């Protein structure tokens, strides 16, 4: 029995490798999560992926070769045409790896690789907050601040598959020092490191719920903890999220002026604090962006949560390998 | 005799209306320039355009209805689908004008309107500095700083035909006040007004070639005069162009990180000082943009000069009304 509409989407992150099996109706049927550290080097990764995909497909009575294809999102620079990972952020040993060739040889089905932020945008566009729109900017807020762009109803990758570095847009040339060497990058103001560094300073300087929560968590400070403190009325923590909204708003206003997108979708771990920073974000964009573009851009939260990466990777397969079988299963 | 490959391109600027007749090989055969002030209101504009196009086509043995079409670039917001000018910058009386309908009724051929910066980019892409590239950012430097974007080999207009407002990207939140109300917009640092305001201050403060040239020109200060002073060794004038290169470089670095274009094309009146600001521009982009994107983006000067607008408007016609007749004439 052929079920050519089915696809596997892989989200290769710094911590986990999520592998999902999706049916022709774009529904996630099975998910398996592996620890990135254990499968980190290319050989181990290919072995683990082949084994997992074989098990996942078997569990629904399929063979890997019966899949429409396998899509993989990786954190780093890729050559999407040749299926090569040039190098992966925070994962040593990945240099010019022909991931597509290695996997296609073992799985005997089409394999496609792309940058994780691109696939995040593709997933939200086809199955999440971007459905029905033609021009989208998607931001992922976390340790890094990434971006994916959909223009004229198509994923936009740029001349060297490197587009979307929204995190390194300079929003203040005299701003905070960024890990990239520049000063005042958006990431240096709204990335996890910035949020935690400002929170640590606030804890040293004052009391309040933030200090209590940090003490209770034994020093393992996270953006979630800063959110909880803000919701519990901590003034410094609230200020942190207002500042995040303000800096993010400045970056988004630039994007809105430049690209006049129909939607700006905000996702990633830090976006869980949406309710705390969104009012300032929206106010800043309205204040700084030009009239028509500001009015026509809807700022919204990503909808796919943790499965955005695997859904996006599967959408890549349906897009590039045809989607005629959709719903035919 | 039908010569369907021929097109008319109109560049409707604040000072002049340039009307060009182009043959199927994309060559400008005839040009007529009218003063915008004299034909400024919609009725007068349509009359003058119809009359000029009739005369231009007659001079090569054609009727307007034998053209592939007429393309018009206007300085302001347009609805490209319905052919309506919502309003034009610096030209009163243009509010929700159905320019396409008015002209098609009189000329009996297809008429298309678009924003002037979009058509500038389209012209440079098909016939100028952007030939052969797929992803381009085009900047026009003058009183305003405009932008046109070609993505995935297609003109990108955004959700409300308003994309490309590169001039209002904030490059320094504590920077110079901009006419739009914001602070530190790219236009507030590299637009004609900024250049002249800084030059005037320099003239008040010191001597040198800039003061002499300004005196000789009886106070009619222009960017060209600031360039001449810089080339004659004026220190303050050279500093002005270095600063233009630096601010422009910061804006372009943001664009390069975000969009990873193959080419960034700089045109418009102020770009005549290319030799004076390009070294700093290139150095700033190399210093601030991310490795791969910085290496793959070629920064270059526009090639079409004064005819970019009319060529771009004609390219719009060939693009949207088919180009099968190209070279067939």
Lowest model confidence (mean pLDDT) among A22-31, B13-22, B36-45: B36-45
pLDDT for A64 beyond 90: yes
Predicted confidence band of residue A94 (pLDDT cuts 50, 70, 90) = confident
Q: Which of A159, A177, A179, A247 to mutate to test the interface with B (most CBs of B within 10 A)?
A: A159
Q: Which among A160, A166, A290 has CB closest to B258?
A: A166
Closest approach of chain B CAs to the CA of A203, in angstroms? 28
Of A158, A164, A257, the CB nearest to B165: A257
| A132-302, CATH topology level | Nucleotidyltransferase; domain 5 (3.30.420)
Matching residue, tokens 């290769």:
A12
In this model, does residue A234 exceed pLDDT 50? Answer: yes
Edge-to-edge strands, sheet with B298-301: B154-156, B145-151, B136-141, B263-267, B298-301
Across the beta sheet with A111-115, the strand order is A28-35, A16-22, A7-12, A69-74, A111-115
How many angstroms away from the CA of A303 is the closest CA of chain B? 21
Q: Give mean pLDDT, residues B231-252.
A: 97
Query: In this predicted model, which residue has the larger pLDDT, A89 or A203?
Result: A203
Q: Over range A248-256, report the average pLDDT.
A: 97
DSSP state of B259: H
Strands A263-267 and A154-156: unpaired
Return mean pLDDT, chain A: 93
| Band of residue A248 on the pLDDT scale cut at 50, 70, 90 | very high
- If you average pLDDT over every residue of chain B, what do you get? 93
Q: What is the pLDDT of residue A328?
A: 37
Cα of A298 vs its chain's centroid, Å: 19
Predicted confidence band of residue A329 (pLDDT cuts 50, 70, 90): very low
pLDDT at A321 over 90: no
The reported pLDDT for the residue numbered A125 is: 97
Start-end of CATH 3.30.420.40 domains in chain A? 7-122+307-320, 132-302
CA distance to partner chain A, nearest, from residue B215 (Å): 37
Q: Residue B171 and residue A170: Cβ atoms within 8 Å? A: yes
Answer whether residue A327 shows pLDDT above 50. Answer: no
Among the four given CATH numbers 3.40.50.300, 3.30.420.40, 1.10.10.10, 3.40.390.30, the one describing domain B133-302: 3.30.420.40
- Chain B environment of A121 (Cβ under 8 Å): none
Yes or no, beta carbons of A293 and B174 under 8 Å apart: no
| Chain B residues within an 8 Å CB radius of A164 | 258, 260
State mean pLDDT over A70-99: 91
**Where in the sequence of chain B do the CATH 3.30.420.40 domains occur?**
7-122+307-320, 133-302
Closest residue in B to A170 (Cα–Cα): B254
Report CA-CA distances (Å) from A264 to A115, A130, B137. 19, 9, 21
d(CA B113, CA B81): 9
The C-alpha of B285 sits at a distance from chain A's nearest C-alpha, in angstroms, of 12
Q: Under CATH, which architecture does the A7-122+307-320 domain have? A: 2-Layer Sandwich (3.30)
Q: Tell me which chain A residue has its CA closest to the CA of residue B252.
A: A169
Of A163, A168, A253, the CB nearest to B259: A163
Q: Cα–Cα distance between B147 and A159 in angstroms, integer?
A: 18
Residue A246 in this model has a pLDDT that exceeds 80: yes
Could you write out the three-class secondary structure of chain A? CCCCCCEEEEEECCCEEEEEEECCCCCEEEEEEEEHHHHCCHHHHHHHHHHHHHHHHHCCCCCHHHCCEEEEEECEEEECCCCEEEEECCEEEEEEECHHHHHHHHHCCCEEEEEHHHHHHHHHHHHCCCCCCCCEEEEEECCCEEEEEEECCEEECCCCCCCCCHHHCECCCCCCECCCCCECEHHHHHCHHHHHHHHHHHHHHCCHHHHHHHHHCCCCCCHHHHHHHHHCCCHHHHHHHHHHHHHHHHHHHHHHHHHCCCEEEEECHHHHHHHHHHHHHHHHHHHHCCHHHHHHCEEEECCCHHHHHHHHHHHHHHHHCCCCCCCCC
**pLDDT band (50, 70, 90) for residue B325:** very low
Please state the rounded mean pLDDT for residues A147-165.
96
Of B156, B258, B296, the CB nearest to A165: B258
Say yes or no for a CB contact (<8 Å) between A77 and B292. yes
Q: Give, as one character, the DSSP assignment of residue B47.
A: H
The residue of chain A nearest to residue B249, with distances taken between CA atoms, is: A170
Q: How far does B226 lie from chain A, in Å, by closest CA?
A: 27
| pLDDT interval class at A323 (50, 70, 90) | low
Provide the pLDDT for residue A218: 85
Please report where in the chains the tokens 């002049």 appear, as a residue.
Answer: B16
Q: Do the Cβ atoms of A168 and B262 come within 8 Å?
A: no
CA-based nearest distance A131→chain B, Å: 14
User: Could you tell me the CA-to-CA distances from B235 to A241, B203, B205, B207, B227 in Å, in that order?
Assistant: 46, 11, 12, 10, 11
CA-CA distance, B84 to B95, in Å (whole number)? 9
A149 contact residues in B (CB cutoff 8 A)? 259
- A182, A250, A295: residue with CB nearest B170: A250
B296 with A259: Cβ contact below 8 A: no
B188-230 per-position pLDDT tens digit: 999 999 999 999 999 998 878 999 998 898 878 999 999 999 9
In three-state secondary structure terms, B264 is: strand
Query: For the residues B270-276, what does the mean pLDDT come to?
Result: 97
Residue A49: the pLDDT is 96
Say yes or no for a CB contact (<8 Å) between A165 and B293.
yes
Task: Indicate whether B60 pLDDT > 80.
Answer: yes
Q: How far is CA A280 from CA A199, A247, B170, in A?
A: 19, 9, 18
User: Inter-chain contact B162–A254, Cβ cutoff 8 Å?
Assistant: no
Distance from CA of B146 to the nearest CA of A (A): 10
Cross-chain CB nearest to A151 (options B151, B172, B295):
B151
- Looking at the complex, report in whole angstroms how far the Cα of residue B220 sits from the nearest Cα belonging to chain A: 32
Q: Whole-angstrom Cα distance, residue B288 to residue B152?
A: 25
Out of A233-237, B85-89, B231-235, B320-324, pick the least confident: B320-324
Most confident listed range (A49-58, A91-100, B285-294) = A49-58
- For residue A91, the model assigns a pLDDT of 78
pLDDT for B220 equals: 87
| pLDDT at position B327 | 40
ipTM, interface predicted TM-score of the complex: 0.93
Interchain CB distance below 8 Å, A258 and B182: no
Kindly report the nearest CA distance between residue B63 and chain A, in angstroms.
36
Chain B residues closer than 8 Å to A182 by CB = 288
Q: Which residue of A has its CA nearest to B172?
A: A172
Mutate which: B114, B260, B294, B296, vs A, most A CBs within 10 A: B260
Predicted confidence (pLDDT) at residue B95 exceeds the cutoff of 80? yes
Least confident of A63-72, A78-87, B2-11: B2-11
pLDDT band at B323 (very low <50, low <70, confident <90, very high): low
Greatest Cα pair distance, chain B, in angstroms, is 66
Given a cut of 60, whether residue B307 has pLDDT beyond it is yes
B1 band by pLDDT with thresholds 50, 70 and 90? very low
Contact A203, A214 (CB under 8 A): yes
Nearest CA in chain A to B184: A172
Cα–Cα distance between A83 and A102 in angstroms, integer? 10
Asked if B169 lies within 8 A of A257 by C-beta distance, the reply is yes
Percent of the residues in chain B that have a pLDDT greater than 70, as a whole number: 97
């Amino acid at each position: 029995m052929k079920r050519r509409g089915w696809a596997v989407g892989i989200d290769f992150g710094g911590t986990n490798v999520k592998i999902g099996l999706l049916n022709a109706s774009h529904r996630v049927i099975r998910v398996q999560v592996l620890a990135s550290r254990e499968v980190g080097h290319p050989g181990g990764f290919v072995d683990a992926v082949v084994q997992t995909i074989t098990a996942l497909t078997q569990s629904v009575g399929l063979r890997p070769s019966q899949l429409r294809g396998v899509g993989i999102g990786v954190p780093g620079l890729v050559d999407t045409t040749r299926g090569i990972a040039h190098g992966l952020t925070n994962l040593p040993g990945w240099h010019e790896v022909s991931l597509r060739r290695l996997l296609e040889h073992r799985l005997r089905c089409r394999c496609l690789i792309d940058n994780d932020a691109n696939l995040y945008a593709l997933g939200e566009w086809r199955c999440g907050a971007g459905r029905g729109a033609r021009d989208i900017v998607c931001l992922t807020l976390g340790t890094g601040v990434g971006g994916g762009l959909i223009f004229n109803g198509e994923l936009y990758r740029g001349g060297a598959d490197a587009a979307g570095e929204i995190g390194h847009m300079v929003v203040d040339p005299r701003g905070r020092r960024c890990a990239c060497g520049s000063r005042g990058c958006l990431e240096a103001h709204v990335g996890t490191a910035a949020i935690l560094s400002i929170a640590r300073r606030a804890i040293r300087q004052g009391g309040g719920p933030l200090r209590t929560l940090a003490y209770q968590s034994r020093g393992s400070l996270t953006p979630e903890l800063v959110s909880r403190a803000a919701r519990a009325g901590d003034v410094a923590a609230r200020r942190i999220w207002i500042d995040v909204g303000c800096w993010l708003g400045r970056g988004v206003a630039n994007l809105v002026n430049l690209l006049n997108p129909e939607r700006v979708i905000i996702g990633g771990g830090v976006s869980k604090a949406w309710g705390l920073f969104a009012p300032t974000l929206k106010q800043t964009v309205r204040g700084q962006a030009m009239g028509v573009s500001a009015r026509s851009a809807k700022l919204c939260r990503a909808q796919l949560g943790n499965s955005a990466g695997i859904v996006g990777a599967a959408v890549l397969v349906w897009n590039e390998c045809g989607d005629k079988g959709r719903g035919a299963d």
